[in-house]
Amino acid sequence: MIDTPVTKEQAAMIKVGIVGGTGYTGVELLRLLAQHPETELSVITSRAEAGSAVADMFPSLRGRVALRFSDPATAPLEECQVVFFATPNGVAMQQARSLLDAGVRVIDLAADFRIKDIALWEKWYGMTHAAPDLVAAAVYGLPELNRQQIKSARLIANPGCYPTAVQLGFLPLIEAGCVDTDFLIADAKSGVSGAGRKAETHILFAEASDNFKAYGVAGHRHLPEIRQGLSGISGSPVGLTFVPHLTPIIRGIHATLYARITREEDFQSLYEKRYAAEPFVDVLPAKSHPETRSVRAANVCRMAIHRPQGGDTLVVLSVIDNLVKGAAGQAVQNMNLMFGFDECLGLSQVPVLP
């Protein structure tokens, strides 16, 4: 057998590993990275599917991903330059340290490193944190807020889907100091893929289809993450009411945000100027109504600003694809920044319609 020579381009590619490749965020990472010109998919793990071909589970990847799932206990993740954790909460904190010690950069798509207050994290996630010192070292991966820190980061806490839509929507107002941060409201709706790829009654077709409901009204795990982010922007604690809803769609988050105006501004201009240089935030013309289908399968947040009846309440509409800008796409965006690539590399997909 003759070995095929490695080209200079292949030698320069970033070797990528994915821990937990059988969920929706895992396959979304595969879809995006398979099209990325500077990455080589090297390892993808699954304890249950070890040995089976990735393309057998996900036929959409036939001809693009030739890997087989590896057992996480023996997978050579240390040989990668960056490893993504597309795993349930509590997994990355157990494994990140050994990878970091081996010089591997880590991007966690779960919540293990997002909340800086360890006691608060343990309260909301119901477990003892295994690596509290790494939480302090982690950079929160919202590029529109932390771009410079992300560039030099070794460990990224990729934001949650609801927190991405909500924080991007409120960000210009809080930075400008023109709304009452004691009374912020986020009324957000998500498609069923946000619950993950698992068999649970409430996300079965017969249960979720032709239905609409709120959940987590008393408290949702993304609430402390959003509060932490908005408080950091404000410089002081914020008051936030956050109510999530489940909608009978597969992909998409629609966040309707309410803020009480304390100082007059040209709010449309405020948003347009704040996001003018942001490649993945699209501020629509005044009086627009962004739709979840306008961002389906794309790493884009679209938003619009309204002031109903000219009153003292501003309404911001913010939509994202929960699996892309809300998860895998933002993770790839962070990877691009960490390795000095063009931030948009591999993320130029046009939204899918219908």
Same domain, 67 and 189: no
pTM, 2 dp: 0.94
Give pLDDT, residue 268.
98
Looking up tokens 């604690």 gives: 237
Average pLDDT over residues 220-240: 97
Q: Are residues 304 and 166 in the same domain?
A: yes
- What mean pLDDT is reported for the chain? 94
Say whether both 91 and 234 belong to one domain: no
**156 domain-assigned:** no
| Residue 353 maps to a domain | no
2 pLDDT above the threshold of 70? no
Q: Does residue 1 belong to any structural domain of this protein?
A: no
Q: Are 170 and 281 in contact (CB under 8 A)?
A: no
The answer to whether residue 330 is domain-embedded is no
Domain residues for the domain of 68 are 8-137
Q: For position 201, what pLDDT does the model report?
A: 75
Q: Are residues 131 and 17 in the same domain?
A: yes
Find out whether 147 and 153 touch, Cβ atoms under 8 Å. no
Nearest C-alpha neighbor of 114 from the set 245, 238, 221: 221
Question: In the annotation, is 301 catalytic?
Answer: no
The confidence score (pLDDT) of residue 89 equals 96
Has residue 350 been placed in a domain? no
Residue of 161, 178, 301, 344 marked catalytic: 161
> Do 201 and 314 lie in a common domain?
yes
Residues 13 and 132 in one domain: yes
What percentage of the chain has pLDDT greater than the value 70?
Answer: 96
CATH code for position 247? 3.30.360.10
294 in the same domain as 185: yes
Total number of domains in the chain: 2
Q: Give the pLDDT confidence score for residue 207 in this predicted structure.
A: 84
pLDDT single digits (tens) 159-210: 999 999 999 999 999 999 999 999 999 999 999 988 777 767 777 888 888 9
Pairing of strands 253-261, 179-190: antiparallel
**Could you tell me the pLDDT band of residue 7, with boundaries at 50, 70 and 90?**
very low
252 vs 247: CA distance, rounded Å:
9
Q: Where are the alpha helices (DSSP H) in the chain?
A: 8-12, 24-33, 54-57, 92-101, 118-125, 132-137, 143-151, 161-176, 205-208, 222-234, 267-274, 329-338
Q: What is the pLDDT of residue 202?
A: 78
Q: Lay out the sheet containing 281-283: strands in order across.
A: 213-214, 240-246, 179-190, 253-261, 313-320, 301-306, 281-283
Q: Which residues are CB-neighbours of 301 under 8 A, at least 6 positions away?
A: 164, 165, 168, 280, 281, 282, 295, 318, 319, 320, 325
Residue 277 and residue 194 share a domain: yes
User: How many residues are present in the chain?
Assistant: 354
Q: Which of 321, 173, 340 is nearest to 253 (CA)?
A: 321
Give yes or no for residue 11 having a pLDDT over 80.
Answer: no
Whether the pLDDT of residue 35 is over 90: the answer is yes
Given this model, what pLDDT does residue 206 score?
A: 82
Same domain, 20 and 84: yes
Q: Is residue 190 part of a domain?
A: yes
Q: What is the DSSP string of 46-69?
A: -TTTTTSBHHHH-GGGTTT---B-
Taking residues 237-252, report their average pLDDT. Answer: 96
CA 19 to chain centre: 16
In a domain, 196, yes or no: yes
Residues 301 and 169 in one domain: yes
**Would you say residue 94 has pLDDT above 60?**
yes
